[in-house]
Structure 1
């Protein structure tokens, strides 16, 4: 793999990592573009995106574990009621909600998992499954849609 491929993978990792945090990032466009370009293997692309996205969720988890002590501070980013509702929802549906960590609201779920001190190995396993599944599904979708986009009318 040349310098372009390495830079592509670094870009993919950064975008996937950022997309899993509370930052307003999206990684799907970069993933699809790199898949269509084909300068890196699809297996490696999925692996890099999945690891980056999973590690971004680990950051959320760590923030959740650390931020609970500031819950009653004036600057705390969510209200007491919002946090209570998120915790009630997580307690009701359990750790299996981490399989939805790929969804737009998944960042909040990973933070709540940290606040509620979900066992890390369980957190990591479920989030890695969800994130990898997301990129596999995206690869399949891109494979179906991209030929029509690249070929044109």
Structure 2
């Protein structure tokens, strides 16, 4: 299960990964739903919280000339994010857009507990669906 945790954690950072495939593989070897779900959700959520931390740290460089966003645009973006953006973390599970959304949560300094709660709901939901699909579709293949 350590390998599942590490793959899920790496998959949630800006590194590429395939935690869903690894989870399905682990399920084929030992179909213990709760444990697999908890480990995958914890690892992937922690990886996304690392992205949030990186976003918070990136904000320290906003006064530098090379920082990619002007102070005015950053302030406008923050106002929009405060109004609408935090719920976008429910898409933190999605390929391509999920990782940047978690970084934005850090840049715009969303409260840790709110970021963590939304991320855990998103990641946990995705892994529940992956396990349900594994049980529905892979069971005959795994037991052959």
Shorter-chain TM band: 0.7 to 0.9
The equivalent residue for 2:10 is 18
Instruction: Report the Cα distance in structure 2 between the residues aligned to 1:45 and 1:92, rounded to whole angstroms.
Output: 35
Deviation at 1:91, TM superposition (A): 4.9
The answer to which structure, 1 or 2, has the higher relative contact order (CA under 8 A, 6+ apart) is 2
Measured at CA, do residues 108 and 97 of structure 1 come closer, stay the same or move farther in structure 2, by a change above 3 Å? same
TM-score, length-scaled by structure 1: 0.80
Alignment of 1:132 with 2:130, yes or no, is no
The equivalent residue for 2:53 is 62
Structure 2, unaligned runs of 5 or more: none
Matches of residues 1-153 of structure 1 in structure 2 within 5 Å?
A: 9-38=1-30, 41-71=32-62, 72=64, 74=66, 79-80=68-69, 90-91=81-82, 93-104=84-95, 105-150=97-142
Structure 1, unaligned runs of 5 or more: 1-8
| Cα deviation 1:108-138 (Å, max 9, x = unaligned) | 0010000000011111111111111111010
Runs of at least 4 residues of structure 1 off by over 4 A?
Answer: 83-89
Deviation at 1:73, TM superposition (A): 5.3
Instruction: Report the Cα distance in structure 2 between the residues aligned to 1:108 and 1:87, rounded to whole angstroms.
Output: 15
